[in-house]
Amino acid sequence: MSDPMQLVTYVSYFFGGGFITNAIPHFVRGVMGQPFQSPFAKPPGQGLSTSTVNVLWGFFNLVVAYLLICRVGMFNLRSTDHIIALGLGVLLMSVLTARLFGRFHGGNAPHLS
């Protein structure tokens, strides 16, 4: 991987995976008519934004993901290194958002057996 443009491509796919992951909860909660945390709430990332704001924020994240994945390099679903870069972005953003939103929705509470 001595080509710097190849590194830029993998970084783009990584962040594209993060944006796809971030789009999902905002878009789904918005379409369901439910409020959800967003950067536009007060306080940012903690307060609730309207369902309309979340649909728009989720859609924006999808557009950014499309640009990063489909317009940078030549993304190929059959290319293992492309999928790994994208998948690592999805995984990292999934764990981060699970930890962040879990504190608001009970997802980080320990379960006693």
Tell me what the mean pLDDT of segment 7-33 comes to.
Answer: 97
pLDDT at 101: 81
The mean pLDDT of 17-24, rounded to a whole number, is: 97
Alpha-carbon distance of 54 to 82, in angstroms, equals 29
pLDDT in tens, 41-96: 999 888 999 999 999 999 999 999 999 999 999 999 999 999 999 999 999 999 99
pTM: 0.87
**Cβ-count burial 33-55 (b if 16+ within 10 Å, e if not):** eebbbbeebeeeeeebbbbebbb
CA angle 55, 96, 75 (to 5 degrees): 70
